Structures are given as C-alpha cells and as structure tokens.
Amino acid sequence: MPRFTVNGVEHDLDIEPDMPLLWALRDELGMTGTKFGCGIAACGACTVHVNGNAIRSCVTPVSAVEGQEVTTIEGLATAVAGTNTSSTGPDLSAVQQAWIDHQVPQCGYCQSGMIMAVSSLLAQNPNPTDAEIDANITNVCRCGSYPRVRRAIRALATA
Amino acid sequence: MKITRRRFILSTAVAGGGVLFAYSATRPSKHRRANQELAAEGEHYVTSFIKLEADNRVTIYVPHSEMGQGIHTSLSMMAADEMDADWELVNIEQAPATDMFANGELIKGFASEYGVPDFLKGLVSFSAIKVAEVMNLQITGGSSSVRYTGETGMRIAGAAAREMLIDCAAARWSVPAAECTTELSHVHHNASGRSLSYGELAADAAQLEPPAEPVLKDPSQFNIMGKAISRNDIPAKVDGTAPYGLDAHSDDMLYAAIRFAPVFGTKLVSVDASAALQRPGVVRVVELEDSVAVVANNYWRAKEALKLVESEFESSAYDTVNSAEEWASFDRNLANDDGSEDFESGDTETAMAEAADTIEAGYRVPYLAHAAMEPMNCTVHFRNDGKVDLWTSTQDALGIKGRVASIGDVDIDNVNFHHCYLGGGFGRRLPFNWNVIDHATLIAREFDVPVKTVLSREDDMQQDYYRPAVANNFKAAFDANNNVTAWHSRFTGPIQVPGAAHIPYNIPNQSIRVVDVETHVPIAAWRSVDHSQQTFFIESFIDEIAHRSGKNPYQMRMDLLANHPRHQRVLEVAADAAGYGENLPIGHALGIAVQESFGSIVAEIAEVSMSEDNRPIVHKVTCAIDCGRAINPDTVESQVESGIIFGLTAAMYGEITIENGRVAQGNFPDYEMVRMATSPEIDVRIVESGEALGGLGEPATPPIAAAVTNAVYILTGQRVRELPIKNHDFSVATPVAQA
C-alpha cells in the first residue's frame, strides 16, 4: 500500500506497487496537470519532481517513491517558494512566470513536463551553458517551442 | 435550398482541409437566437460573436479550436479592434458547439448552388461527397481562421457592433451619428462633451438590426491589431490547469485501452479475454468489428490487462504489403501511366526534343504520422437521462458532436460537447479522421458512467491517417545558353491541395501531371498538406537546375521570379538577414527555398555544417514571411518557429514504413523528433506587404526540408532526393563550389 506525499499532502493509496506514478496521479488522484505522452520515458511530458529531482513518472512505479515527496506542476510554485510563505502560496514560480513573459507554450501539452525539467535543472545549475541545457532538457515539444524555452532559460539565468 | 446571399459574407475557397466560409456575424436571426439561447439576465448579444454586458465587459466568442496557434487571442483582437473595445475589458470564450457557430452552415447552400468546393473533396478522403455530413462543421484548419473567420466574420462583427453602439448613443443624445466617436469601449460626443460606456448602450443596441455592410477600419486606424499581445491561453498552460481532452476526469470514470487490427481495414475474428478479466480493476472486455478493448477503473490497469487478451484478426491481401514493394508499384505507375493534367503550358515535348541539355531526377518522401503530443483520446458518457456528455480534443467540435450522435444513435441536441484545448492537431484532429471517436462512442455505449478511451503512443502512431507517401519524377531542358526551357513533373496522387505542384518560376514550357496510386494506408491532411512534399521536390529540383547550369541558386531563383515580386522580396529579405553571399564560418553552407502556401509567401535559408560523424547540423534558419499583415506579430513568429521545427523533424527523421501491411514504427525512439539539442536558432522577419492576409499555421513548414538538403548538397556534393535525411550516408563527401 504505497504511501507518499504529493505537493505536501500525504496519500495512502490502495493500489498495485508497480503502477506507474503517472497513472496514480492522473487516474487515482485526479491530478491531470502531469501529462501522458509516450509511456516509455522518451518524451518527458510526464516529468515530476521526487525530492526536487526531475523524473519521468510514466516509468516510475509508485513503490519507488514510497515515503518520498512528489511535486507536480500544480504544486511547483509553492514548492519553489519553500515552506515559509503564506498558506495560500504564490501563484507562479519564476520559471512559470518566464514562460508567460516569453510566450513559450503553443499547444502547451508538453509544457508541464518541460517546466518541471527546467525547474530542476535551474535549481541545480542556475546558469547552464547551451550544452548543459541540451543535455538535460530532452523533452519533446511537437509545436517546436525550443527557441523560446532557451530564451526563457537564458533570461532566468541572468536574472 | 436557397440562401439569401446578401445576408452572408462569403469567402472564396482554399484547399487544405480548412474553413472556407465565415458566416456573417450580422445575420439577424443568429443575433436574435444568441440573445434567446445564450444571454443571461442583463446580458446582450450585439452580434453572435460578441456579448456586451451592462458593466461594460465584453465577451468575444471564438468559433475555432485553440491548439497553440493563438487563434482565440488573434480573432478576439480583430473583433475588439474594429469595435474599439478596451482590451482590458475583453474576455475570450470558446464558442459553444452549436450550429449557430458552425462555419459549415453555408456549405449546404453553397454546394447546392455551385457544387461541392475542392477543399471538401480532400476532407472526405476522396470518397463520394455526402453534403449532409459536412453541413455542421466547426473546423479549424487550412491556416484559414484569421483569413476567413477573422477578416469576414470577427472584424465585421466588431465593426457592426461599433456602428450599432454609435447609433444608440446618437439617438439618446439626438445628435447625428457622424458627430460621435469611439474609444476604449465608450462613445463620445466631443461637441457636447458627453460620453456613454458601451455597457450603458448594450440593451438599446440589442434591439437594433445589425447593419448590412459595416465599414471596416483602415489599417492606419488599428489600435490592437498589429501589436504583440500576450495570448490568453498561456497562463493556464504553465500551471497545469488547462483542460485537454485527456484531462476529463470524474471519480466514477472508466478507462478503455484498445487493440486495433494491425493491418488497416481488417476485422477481429476471435478473442480470449479470460486472463485479462482476472486482472484487478478490469470491468469488461468489449469486442468491436476491428478491435478489442479492455475497460478498467484506471488506464494503466486496462492497458496491462489488454496485454493478456489473446486476439486473432482476419488475414487479408495486404498482409504482405511492404514499403519497398509499394515504392516499386508507385514507380511502375509513374513509368506506365502519364496520369492526368494538373498544369500545362507551352510545348514541353518539343522543348525537350530541341534541348541542348536535359536533367532528370526522381524524388520520394515517405508516409508521416502526426504524432501530436496529446495521444488521441475521447471520453463519452451515456447518461441515464438519455443525454450524452462528450470530451475530446478536436479541430471540429460540431462535426465530432454529430459523429458521436450518429454512431451512438442519439439526437445531436442531446450531445453536450465540453470544449478542451488540443495537445496538438496538425490535421490529425480534423473531421473524417474519426477512428478514435467511433471506437470511444461504441465502447462507452455499454456503460452509464463516463468512459475515456485512450490510444497509447504506439496505437496513436500505428492507427493514424498519414501524410501520403509521394514519388515525383522530374525532367528539365536547357537551351544552348544554359537557360532552363522546360519543366516536366510526374507525381503520384491523389492531389489533396490543388496547385501545390505548380511552380512560380518563369519557365516557358511546363507539363505537370498526377498519377493516382492505390494504397490501403489511410491518408489525410498533415500540416501544410501537399505543400510539405511538393515544396521539397520543387525547391530541390530547381536547385539542381541552378547547379547544372552553373548559376547561383539565389540569383537564378530571383531571375525566374520576375513575375512574382512578393517571392523576390521575401528571398531578398531572408538573404540579407542570413548574410547570404558573405563569409560564413568554415564548413558552413546556406541552402535556400521559397514557397507560397495558404496565402503566405515564405523564404527560408538554412545554415548547415556536417558533424565529425558526417551528420548535418542545422545551426540557424532565417525566415522571411509575407503574410500580408501581422495581426499578432508574436504569434506570427511563434507559428513560423513551430512550422520550421515541425518540417525539420520530418526532413531529418520522419518516416512511417509499412511492413507486412502494418506500420513498423511505434514510439519516439523510432520516430524521432527535433529536440533542444538539435533545434536551430531561428530568425523570423515579417514582411508587411499590405496584401490580403495569409495563413500562418502551415506556410513555414514546407520550405525547410529543401533549404537544408540544398545546403547539404553544397557541403557534400550529395543530392538528397529521398527523405528522411537520417537514412543517407554522407561519409564520402565532395563539397561543391557554388556559383
């Protein structure tokens, strides 16, 4: 009976331990901000954070996150702001705001995963080189938002 | 069926599976119906696109699907600008899927008067047209929304609203309407210093008959159009709240995973579901004519259980079809059949016979899947009260609603369509590509709770309606002075977009013919439709002609485009911006392509080098686009960036092949995409010609393949005549000196 927290809320789900985290989030908890794209960790649409690190939830069984802290796009702004803010939390993280400022999303379907991947990268490496961006952000965006993703990351890095 | 033409604003037809008619927003019956059906207490519809409230807030209803092209914002900008609304007071809403907002409503009348327009023939997969099927459409496609709904609907609605509000104010003040002005959602009478907000005039305006021919602004009067306005759909797309079709959710929802007949067009023979039914959460196994589905209380559980279902599908004559054999049959057809005329001018046969030199080349491009990021899905709830709730991401809300009603055997008025954002469309979510919708409806019919049918990425890729594979054989003739005198093109059809194989180049003798070929592979529109194949062919072969005749590819294009100044202008702007003819880094080359599609003219210049392991690297793409005018310049840029990367993915990697009658590729590892590491820098230059508005969703896609391969030719001496580029071996390279 896997137990883990999602965006600060503890869940104790009566589900199979090998169920991918993606489907526990979407179909069991009704948290649909995390997207299904490929099911084999090839596109990154399902990216969430486990203890702050970006992982692909479509191939991560819930047993692997037992006792750990999962953050999804819905909880990103609060998680980034830390625990000392007001109970309502901020509306948007700096990455999310940059995504609006640079008008990054088009269809937007991949952007939950893209934002989670970029947030994790910038938390660990606030000023990544182009090569580091290329190596770390391997998410697929079928609309081709890549030039704007890079522009937004650059703006965040120099901010 | 007789229609009163003066009541409607009719636009002309374009190809590509898009909207061709914008109904008039000022049709009085619609305006009255909107007030009856949609308006709440204190609300008034000034036109059927625009709702004005007493507190001066304006809601603009956009009858097109938002799939990332920013159409909700662009169309609202057009209406709000003509209305002189205060953009801060504008709220944008998706128009409901009712026939009041159909853009196919006029088709019935139009078709009976003039016959079925070409674009619809493409839309219904080249089968016989059933006019009844295309009446109630609400299509988004063909790069047409701004050009048609915007220019002939939203702007007119806004202008009509403005005139009506002025008339109401003038009547209240007993002054001539000509003395009144409008600004920021207010009518002013400057002579007397009086003002009224639009909201204060709303109730009066709702009683007026809209003007038959409202006067549109001159572009110099635009306040909102032409500005880079932030899109209204973006905030919900960065915090996870934007609802896509796949996000429909309820606690009692069931989920269906489906196994289709792997060979297109074959049927299910037998099923053994005993093991699957033992799996946790599995509710039922549903057998359909060509598929079997497991329904469970979680999609993963359904998918896992489906692996345990034993199924047999009938064998068919297509079981042995492979891509290699299909290409061979295309080649045989091209060799044995001179096809039917697409375009002829001059006397190509004589020009070939009298030529000082000739050149021949055969080109091919494969089938492509759409591979939208949101896998195809559809949620249907047959309720106990006889109503049906429907959620799906679609490029045609009204058409889908009608389809579910028809398959589900319910009245269309009992189907409640819930609008969703699209996680990519690219043509896949156009009407007549119904497979997911049909299956989801038939499965859900067996339950009284919502059932969400989801295609896995593999299902999505293997049960698509594909961009057609096309082969094209060319010949060209030169005179003794190395001038090209004849262009001879024979390509496999069917034609989806008339004119895509035509060339803008001033070559006196042209013979362009299409040879229709047979395939069991379902085909449909794919972003830019025939232009994506034809522009690669044409812009590659014209480059071959330039090199063969010792001419500079840029200069020769400019010379042959003397009758096309807009083409020349975008080429010039792109060449200047890209530094064409100037020194490049060692080992880099520039490839050029130019093409008109969907009313926009696009030149692209790709800067390419070869990596140490002999793969092309695209460093930068410079693009100049003449789309008439930019409504939202930032959206123009993002659509161009998007179109280029979409086309670059296809050029570099895109390939759907057929093995034993079925699609060989299943997921992104074998249908690779351009990603951050392989995405070039893109420089977009908007050329404002002031000509009629051109489309934006598609026109940037066609030129990129040839721009890249034309550069690869300079770098390696190898002419890429078959896509994708990944299949080519460039280890033996002889760079070409360019004239």
Residue B10 predicted with pLDDT over 60 = no
CA A140 to chain centre: 14
Give residues with Cβ within 8 angstroms of B522, minimum separation 6.
B125, B264, B464, B465, B466
Task: Give the confidence band of B24 by pLDDT, cuts at 50, 70, 90.
Answer: very low
Which residue carries 């003066």 as its tokens? B6
Q: What is the pLDDT of residue B18?
A: 23
Mean pLDDT of chain B: 89
Task: Give the confidence band of B5 by pLDDT, cuts at 50, 70, 90.
Answer: very low
Residue B471 predicted with pLDDT over 90 = yes
Are the beta carbons of B224 and A13 closer than 8 angstroms?
no
Residue with the larger pLDDT of the pair B45 and A143: A143
Whether residue B677 and residue A138 make contact (CB cut-off 8 A), yes or no, is yes
Residue B129 predicted with pLDDT over 60 = no
Q: Does residue B483 share a domain with residue B382?
A: no
Residue B51 predicted with pLDDT over 90 = no
Measured CA to CA, the distance from residue A151 to residue A137 in angstroms comes to 13
Question: Closest partner residue to B299 among A27, A38, A150, by Cβ?
Answer: A27
Amino acid at B25: A
Whether residue B667 and residue A91 make contact (CB cut-off 8 A), yes or no, is no
Q: What is the pLDDT of residue B37?
A: 63
Question: Closest partner residue to B371 among A34, A104, A142, by Cβ?
Answer: A142
Domain C-terminal end among B207, B238, B269: B238
For B553, phi then psi, to 5°, come to: -60, -35
Residue B33 predicted with pLDDT over 80 = no
A interface mutation test: which of B66, B72, B227, B237 has the most A CBs within 10 A?
A: B237
How does pLDDT run across A93-130, given as a tens digit for each residue? Answer: 999 999 999 999 999 999 999 999 999 999 999 999 99
Are the beta carbons of B112 and B129 closer than 8 angstroms?
no
Whether residue A38 and residue B234 make contact (CB cut-off 8 A), yes or no, is no
Q: CATH: 3.50.50.60, 1.10.150.120, 3.40.50.720, 1.20.1540.10. Which one for A78-158?
A: 1.10.150.120
Domain count, chain B: 3
Find residue B177's DSSP bridge partners: none
Question: Closest partner residue to A74 among B240, B246, B667, by Cβ?
Answer: B240
- Of all residues in chain A, the one with the smallest CA distance to B228 is A103
Give contacts of B 583-642 with A, CB under 8 A. 634, 638, 641-642
Find, among A78, A74, A21, A88, the residue nearest to A50 by Cα: A21
Identify whether B737 is part of a domain: no
Q: Does residue B492 share a domain with residue B422?
A: no
Task: Give the confidence band of B657 by pLDDT, cuts at 50, 70, 90.
Answer: very high
Amino acid at A4: F
Task: Give the confidence band of B152 by pLDDT, cuts at 50, 70, 90.
Answer: confident
How many CB pairs lie under 8 A apart between chains A and B? 188
Q: Does residue B276 share a domain with residue B149?
A: no
- B426 lies within 8 A of chain A by CB: yes
Give residues with Cβ within 8 angstroms of B178, minimum separation 6.
none
Residue B392 predicted with pLDDT over 60 = yes
Measured CA to CA, the distance from residue B333 to residue B380 in angstroms comes to 44
Residue B448 predicted with pLDDT over 60 = yes
Residue A4 predicted with pLDDT over 60 = yes
Contacts of A92 in chain B (CB under 8 A): 238-239
- Give the distance from residue B298's alpha carbon to the nearest chain A alpha carbon, in angstroms: 6
**What's the Rg (C-alpha) of chain A?**
15
Mean pLDDT, residues B404-420: 95
Residue B11 predicted with pLDDT over 80 = no
**What's the Rg (C-alpha) of chain B?**
27
Q: What is the pLDDT of residue B252?
A: 97
CATH number of the domain bearing residue B99: 3.30.365.10
Contacts of B675 in chain A (CB under 8 A): 134, 137-140, 146
Domain C-terminal end among B217, B238, B259: B238
Q: Does residue B671 share a domain with residue B584?
A: yes
- Give the distance from residue A120's alpha carbon to the nearest chain B alpha carbon, in angstroms: 15
Domain C-terminal end among B238, B259, B277: B238
Residue B175 has a CB neighbour count (10 Å cut-off) of 15
Mean pLDDT, residues B545-552: 97
- Give the distance from residue B323's alpha carbon to the nearest chain A alpha carbon, in angstroms: 25
B interface mutation test: which of A6, A27, A93 has the most B CBs within 10 A?
A: A27
- Give the distance from residue B437's alpha carbon to the nearest chain A alpha carbon, in angstroms: 19
Find, among A147, A29, A15, A81, the residue nearest to B674 by Cα: A147
Q: What is the pLDDT of residue B454?
A: 98
- Of all residues in chain A, the one with the smallest CA distance to B304 is A19
User: In this structure, what token pair is assigned to residue B518?
Assistant: 């047979």
Residue with the larger pLDDT of the pair B85 and B126: B85
Give contacts of B 643-662 with A, CB under 8 A. 643-646
| Alpha-carbon dihedral sign for residues B323, B325, B326, B331 | positive
User: In this structure, what token pair is assigned to residue B490?
Assistant: 């024979």
Contacts of B256 in chain A (CB under 8 A): none
Concatenating the DSSP letter of every residue in B239-307 gives TT-PPBGGG---TT-EEEEEEE-SSTT--EEEEE-HHHHTSTTEEEEEEETTEEEEEESSHHHHHHHHT
Residue B85 predicted with pLDDT over 50 = yes
- Of all residues in chain B, the one with the smallest CA distance to A140 is B675
In percent, the amount of chain B with pLDDT more than 70 equals 88
- What is the total residue count of chain B? 739
Q: What is the pLDDT of residue B160?
A: 86
Residue B311 has a CB neighbour count (10 Å cut-off) of 17
Task: Give the confidence band of B61 by pLDDT, cuts at 50, 70, 90.
Answer: confident
B interface mutation test: which of A14, A99, A106, A149 has the most B CBs within 10 A?
A: A106
Contacts of A142 in chain B (CB under 8 A): 371-373, 424, 426, 646, 673
Are the beta carbons of B628 and B722 closer than 8 angstroms?
no
Q: What is the pLDDT of residue B611?
A: 97
Identify whether B258 is part of a domain: yes
Contacts of B231 in chain A (CB under 8 A): 103
Whether residue A149 and residue B68 make contact (CB cut-off 8 A), yes or no, is no
- Of all residues in chain B, the one with the smallest CA distance to A144 is B642
CATH number of A3-76: 3.10.20.30
Question: Closest partner residue to B280 among A16, A33, A111, by Cβ?
Answer: A16
So where are chain A's domains? 3-76, 78-158
Q: Does residue B411 share a domain with residue B312?
A: yes
Domain hosting B289: range is 245-316+376-454
Can you tell me whether residue A4 is helix, strand or coil? Answer: strand
- Give the distance from residue A18's alpha carbon to the nearest chain B alpha carbon, in angstroms: 10
- What ipTM was assigned to the predicted interfaces of this complex? 0.97
- Give the distance from residue B391's alpha carbon to the nearest chain A alpha carbon, in angstroms: 14
Residue B504 predicted with pLDDT over 70 = yes
In percent, the amount of chain B with pLDDT more than 90 equals 78
Contacts of A133 in chain B (CB under 8 A): 676
- Of all residues in chain B, the one with the smallest CA distance to A93 is B239
Identify whether B732 is part of a domain: no
- Of all residues in chain B, the one with the smallest CA distance to A40 is B667
Instruction: Cite the beta strand spans of B538-643 per DSSP E.
Output: 588-597, 600-610, 616-626
Q: What is the pLDDT of residue B20?
A: 24
- Of all residues in chain B, the one with the smallest CA distance to A92 is B239
Are the beta carbons of B592 and B654 closer than 8 angstroms?
no
Q: Does residue B362 share a domain with residue B477?
A: yes
Measured CA to CA, the distance from residue B34 to residue A13 in angstroms comes to 47
Strands B254-260 and B291-296: what pairing?
antiparallel
Question: Closest partner residue to B373 among A103, A109, A133, by Cβ?
Answer: A109
Whether residue A150 and residue B677 make contact (CB cut-off 8 A), yes or no, is no
Can you tell me whether residue B109 is helix, strand or coil? Answer: helix
- Give the distance from residue B635's alpha carbon to the nearest chain A alpha carbon, in angstroms: 9
Question: Closest partner residue to B424 among A30, A40, A143, by Cβ?
Answer: A143
Question: Closest partner residue to A108 among B237, B298, B681, by Cβ?
Answer: B237
Q: Does residue B673 share a domain with residue B642?
A: yes
Task: Give the confidence band of B26 by pLDDT, cuts at 50, 70, 90.
Answer: very low
Q: What is the pLDDT of residue B46?
A: 60
Find, among A139, A61, A133, the residue nearest to A105 by Cα: A139
- Give the distance from residue B233's alpha carbon to the nearest chain A alpha carbon, in angstroms: 9
Least confident range from A70-84, B302-316, B320-334, B683-697: namely A70-84
Can you tell me whether residue B536 is helix, strand or coil? Answer: helix
Contacts of A30 in chain B (CB under 8 A): 249, 251
Identify whether B192 is part of a domain: yes
Whether residue B239 and residue A150 make contact (CB cut-off 8 A), yes or no, is no
Helical (H) or strand (E) element with B197: strand B194-197
Mean pLDDT, residues A56-80: 97
